[in-house]
Structure 1
Amino acid sequence: MEGGRKDVDYAPVDAGSWTLRDEEARTFVSAATRTVASLVRSTLGPNGMSTQVQTVDNVEEPETVLTSDASEILDAIERGGGFGHPVAALFVDAVDGMRRELGDGSTTAVLLGEALVDEGVDLVEAGLHPGNVVVGFSMAAARAGAVLDALAREVDPEDVDLLERVAATSMTGDLDATTREAYAARVAETIRVLAEWGDTDWIDTDDAKVLAGPEAPGGRYRGVVVRRYPGPLDESDESLREFDWSMLEPMTDATVALVDEEIDVEKTATPFGQGSDPGVEIESFEQWTDYTEGLNRRVAALVDRLDGMGVDVLVSQERLDDRTRTAFESGGVAVVDEVKYPLVDVYRLARASGGTVVDDLSELTPDQLGMVGSITERRVGDEKWTFFDDCEGAVYTLIVDVETETASAEHERMLEDALEVTATAATDGQVLPGAGAPAMAVAADLRGYATSISDLEQLAIEAFADALESVPAALAANAGADRLDLLAALRAEHATNEGPISAGVSVDGESFDAWEAGVVEPRRLFSQAVETANSVAEQLLTVDAVIHPGVDLGEFRPEPERD
């Protein structure tokens, strides 16, 4: 004992029981990225297959997801419990950020990220320091940008034909050529108009909504289509409330008023209940008469106000009670209420019609009214759809007719992604050939560039080139081709040209010119995939130990932030 302290016998700590080091740690990392890539590899390209995931929806109800979209697959897995591996969670979260920004490119980023980690681990196992690998990979990624600059072509937002090709290229899944072309045409024209109306630096795709459903009236509508359907109270045997299936008479050049708060006439309809307690205290028939007359006067005043301004339709985010609805309709003002699926529809309609959403009808002014070219209603399945069409504002609704409800979500997702991708091309003003051509072009350039590097980073640059070829290799495999034969042919074709060329993998699994075939994608899509994959590889390749005190790695389920 020294300095008054007592000697304490501590139990020995065996750090090795909860530490993975060196080769074990690298195996732990690469196994996770390999597993994630295996989940989405078969979805890449026009021959990509669908995957079924048994999961839960956002309210924890059982859900079956059938999709060929990598992001949808990964999202569904996370909703069902997430990934039971910390590295897998980190990997997926990094890629998901790219998908949220661009609407596509997740599969390419995942496959390239996995390939870079595998190539990097092999180099480290062979004796190369992780720092050299990371530096070499960074040099290769920077070089890739220059190659893509030479390969890219300019795109004019007014070039609808080119925008159509971008949209069509982004649509994977089971679509026949006619349907794909029809979808692409709607997307391209929508983006052209949004680019014309919007900021040159940004196209707001929130102004374009996609709806799909069996028997849906397919087409492109300049305006908003509001979907409403019976709720639990409407369908309950114990409730007197019923859903209103009556349809509005068709209107043209209609004036609309928009409100996003409940129309509560009871607040100022009667002088009763002015004490500290809320509510109206009625103790006699006379009081009841005064109360109801006050309500009627308040409603009548609102009706007269709207009628005096020439309002044809009142659009309300909230439900109107029967008394108020009847009063408006009797006064010649049609009502479209419960515009809340989703809540943003009333604001989209404001942008489309040139109106302003107010929270109090008593403060509505004529300059806050909107104009709609035509308004019609129809029943679609178990829903009532109201079409606010032929509007002046650049707000669109794209509707596609599908055979089943199951296909609705997939087709909506497909067109939403196509809108994002096409908007990216129009905003950036640059496109690349698709079909794996950029990956092959960059790989060919890197092999020549590597020979000019005398340091150990040369090996990492060559490994980066090998990793890039995982993208066309997956396209070839999904097309049923021999990936080694096709890669050899593509290597030879790219190597015999001085500059980058657009030779890629066709839908038949053969080499073809992607430019000539009209297979094009935004420049940023592939650039971001390379950047994302390199960033993830840099993080994971510098891991030389995994420390998990008290944590069972097999059961660890982190929940990264996801929208």
Structure 2
Amino acid sequence: MSLRVLNPNAEVLNKSAALNMNINAAKGLQDVLKSNLGPKGTIKMLVGGAGDIKLTKDGNTLLKEMQIQNPTAIMIARTAVAQDDISGDGTTSTVIFIGELMKQAERCIDEGMHPRVVVDGFEIAKKATLEFLEKFKTPVVMGDGPDREMLKMVARTTLRTKLYESLADQLTDIVVNAVLCVNKPEEGIDLFMVEIMHMRHKFDVDTRLVDGLVLDHGSRHPDMKRRAENCHILTCNVSLEYEKSEINAGFFYSNAEQREAMVVAERRSVDERVRKIIALKNKVCEGTEDNFVLINQKGIDPPSLDLLARAGIVALRRAKRRNMERLVLACGGEAVNSVDDLTPDCLGWAGLVYEHVLGEEKYTFVENVKHPNSCTILIKGPNDHTIAQIKDAVRDGLRAVKNTIEDEAVVRGAGAFEVAARQHLVNDVKKTVKGRAQLGVQAFADALLIVPKTLAENSGLDTQDVIISLTGEHDNGNVVGLNQHTGDPIDPHMEGIFDNYAVKRQIINSAPVIASQLLLVDEVIRAGRDEVCFLISSLLNGHEKILFEIVALRRAKRRNMERLVLACGGEAVNSVDDLTPDCLGWAGLVYEHVLGEEKYTFVENVKHPNSCTILIKGPNDHTIAQIKDAVRDGLRAVKNTIEDEAVVRGAGAFEVAARQHLVNDVKKTVKGRAQLGVQAFADALLIVPKTLAENSGLDTQDVIISLTGEHDNGNVVGLNQHTGDPIDPHMEGIFDNYAVKRQIINSAPVIASQLLLVDEVIRAGRNMRKPT
């Protein structure tokens, strides 16, 4: 009702309606995705507005392409998609876990529990579950290299949830070998160096790993070889055609002879570049059966192709930019931007280069390289639906293997962790929790069972029998999961069923946060400006160029220029005419961090920093936005404390003390009916401790009586929001800003007084429609 006064056009859902909307949205999204979970999960058909069809059981794909309109469901979907972006899997598990947390919380709230109490129980259970996960995980000993058998088991577990069993087993070796190919222990794993190509050709079982690169184009000259062995590879970004100038320039001639002379000069320039490449070919191939292959990012015109073909060089033009780095990593050598200083050291090597024609498409295979640090997974299938399914599965498999190598740990799967964590919460953790928060811990524990329950349901098994069997085995000291074929308990370790540690940790971290936020929503307001998307701002974003051992970053944001000088020292210069060492700052470490397609440059270990960066991390935009708001408030609070040189005891202590002072001391000095105004002001101060108590699920009357009684006994006390008991804020370290309290006491009564003295509200003005 109050918001209707502020904005008559606003759509408002009150506390119970908002809670019901959030719970129903979470359960609805859960019902859509839960049938996809596990190897026995079903497939969804997505039909687009233009009639295009996609078959998938990948939760990430479904959430990205489904048209979700409910705001709560959108929030959950974004969280789940962020889960996939961070850890590469666990999208469906995140959605069904959030839905089950909301469902279990609904039962508690229907019995009269305050949502805050449920949320407190969730927080205790989340912390305990994460600690249990650290003990439950299975370490993976890397030693001299990754444990290939363990990696294969992890990849197989992931792939079998996306594809049928025999195909998943075949792709397991492909995925593991691809990750090990690009694994550099000193630099980490860059999955972008694994090229995923697809050909609508033959069958899905013909998918294979190419120890090199597959380019989606062929040579452009009929006389060039279609198959070459023992090839020297020159990777370059050099224009072998006449190009217009990058600046606006004009060439003028007065007769035809001058024009012909200019054309000849232009041709001569391009031909000289080609002849330098031919000279290098002759140098390295003379007296051998070796071949020479040129792969150029820029264009090659027909005359240049003719020269190269006559020299026996296979030339490919317009290679994609993303493949240039991959070519060097796969074949060796260097990518050159000029032909002026070509040497044999610039060349890579491939045992076989051949062209494959499929319909009107041409593909060039670069294979049998010596020490590949880049490779290609060539996906084949009879139709686009099959190829899309395999591509989604392969990407998840690559991330699963990468996570295992980086985590050096795995978690036993088939629902084993969820059953073990649930029994730990019920048998051990719940006993240590006091009060009604126990019910929140129980609700969290029961929600964990949604994973084995869903696995059983998708396999056509009786969920109750399965849960009784699994929990019984666990109580007997056995760590077991579910055999989806028979319904019997199995040892996941013996069966080779493992999940990613990073995925499980991310699910346990993010799902309860979103569920708690949704449970604490007391109003849904559909009005106001468009939603603002909060993103992490990069410190310095740019492309790094290495030249003569100088690391160069361009297009630095203007706001960071002053910060850089304050952090590193030196001066920001606008001219290079008078450069001196005094202009330079200093940093002990500068490094680049790649996150997906984004790059961040860190400038650290400066000597005397007068500027710094708070790097906020989180699984989704909602969490990041919350942390960002909290950090800004925290910075202002510390700044105010330094400037005020004073603080005020918090937890409602000041408001209770001020109220008692007004009632017991000030009111007696006031004459007449103004005493009633003093009493009203004093009672209004109690709204702070009352609201703290109400938001904690406590009885407000009991709390106020207890606090005022303690104050009358000479104790300055505030509210313990966990127990409802009075506490000494000074002993507990709870303080508010003096400036904030002072501003509130100064401004709020002024506004209230002005509003009380309004005797007429007149709605009139220029834009007011004149009465007819």
What is the aligned partner in structure 1 of residue 765 from structure 2?
none
What is the aligned partner in structure 2 of residue 290 from structure 1?
261
1:12 Cα deviation (Å)?
A: 5.3
Question: Which residue, 143, 148, 153 being the options, matches 2:138?
Answer: 153
What is the aligned partner in structure 2 of residue 165 from structure 1?
153
Alignment of 1:118 with 2:103, yes or no, is yes
1:321 Cα deviation (Å)?
A: 2.6
Q: Secondary structure at the match of 2:133?
A: helix
How far, CA to CA, are the matches of 2:487 and 2:47 in structure 1? 31
Q: How big is each residue's C-alpha offset from its partner over 1:518-545, in whole Å with a ceiling of 9 and x where there is no partner?
A: 1112211112111121121122111111
Question: Which residue, 221, 229, 232 being the options, matches 1:255?
Answer: 232
What is the aligned partner in structure 2 of residue 50 from structure 1?
43
What is the aligned partner in structure 1 of residue 449 from structure 2?
469
Q: Secondary structure at the match of 2:377?
A: strand
How far, CA to CA, are the matches of 1:527 and 1:91 in structure 2? 18
How far, CA to CA, are the matches of 2:28 and 2:221 in structure 1? 51
Which amino acid is the alignment partner of residue 256 of structure 1? I
How far, CA to CA, are the matches of 2:47 and 2:331 in structure 1? 42
What is the aligned partner in structure 2 of residue 27 from structure 1?
20
Q: Where do 1:154-233 residues align within 5 Å?
A: 154-155=139-140, 156=142, 158-172=146-160, 175-195=163-183, 197-199=184-186, 202-215=188-201, 218-228=207-217
How far, CA to CA, are the matches of 1:255 and 1:439 in structure 2? 54
Q: Which has the larger radius of gyration?
A: 2
Q: Where do 1:306-345 residues align within 5 Å?
A: 306-310=277-281, 312-340=292-320, 343-345=321-323
* More deviation, 220-229/443-452: 220-229
The answer on whether the counterparts of 1:437 and 1:505 sit within 8 Å (CA) in structure 2 is no
How far, CA to CA, are the matches of 2:21 and 2:368 in structure 1? 58
Q: Which runs of 5+ in 1 are unaligned?
A: 1-10, 230-241, 269-273
Q: Where do 1:161-560 residues align within 5 Å?
A: 161-172=149-160, 175-195=163-183, 197-199=184-186, 202-215=188-201, 218-228=207-217, 248-260=225-237, 262-266=239-243, 278-281=249-252, 284-310=255-281, 312-340=292-320, 343-362=321-340, 366-391=344-369, 392-448=371-427, 449-497=429-477, 501-549=479-527
Percent of paired sites with the same residue:
23
1:466 Cα deviation (Å)?
A: 0.8
How far, CA to CA, are the matches of 1:15 and 1:123 in structure 2? 34
Q: Where do 1:15-164 residues align within 5 Å?
A: 18-55=11-48, 63-77=52-66, 82-155=67-140, 156=142, 158-164=146-152
TM-score by length of 2: 0.62
Q: Secondary structure at the match of 1:256?
A: strand
Q: Secondary structure at the match of 2:83?
A: helix
1:265 Cα deviation (Å)?
A: 3.2
The answer on whether the counterparts of 2:43 and 2:56 sit within 8 Å (CA) in structure 1 is yes
Cα pair distance change 1:505/1:452, threshold 3 Å = farther
How far, CA to CA, are the matches of 2:72 and 2:89 in structure 1? 22
Cα pair distance change 1:163/1:381, threshold 3 Å = farther
How far, CA to CA, are the matches of 2:359 and 2:385 in structure 1? 14
Q: Secondary structure at the match of 1:506?
A: coil
Cα pair distance change 1:533/1:463, threshold 3 Å = same
Q: Secondary structure at the match of 2:68?
A: coil
The answer on whether the counterparts of 1:251 and 1:376 sit within 8 Å (CA) in structure 2 is yes
1:152 Cα deviation (Å)?
A: 1.8
How far, CA to CA, are the matches of 2:498 and 2:394 in structure 1? 16
Moved over 6 A (4+): 14-17, 242-247, 556-563
What is the aligned partner in structure 1 of residue 732 from structure 2?
none
The answer on whether the counterparts of 1:307 and 1:331 sit within 8 Å (CA) in structure 2 is yes
Q: How big is each residue's C-alpha offset from its partner over 1:7-35, in whole Å with a ceiling of 9 and x where there is no partner?
A: xxxx9557696221221010111122122
Q: How big is each residue's C-alpha offset from its partner over 1:466-521, in whole Å with a ceiling of 9 and x where there is no partner?
A: 11111111111111111122122212222222xx7132342444432222111112
RMSD over aligned Cα, in angstroms?
3.0
What is the aligned partner in structure 2 of residue 235 from structure 1?
none
How far, CA to CA, are the matches of 1:247 and 1:459 in structure 2? 75
Cα pair distance change 1:503/1:178, threshold 3 Å = closer
How far, CA to CA, are the matches of 2:474 and 2:346 in structure 1? 60
Q: Secondary structure at the match of 2:216?
A: strand
How far, CA to CA, are the matches of 1:327 and 1:246 in structure 2? 11
Q: Secondary structure at the match of 2:52?
A: strand
How far, CA to CA, are the matches of 2:243 and 2:5 in structure 1? 74
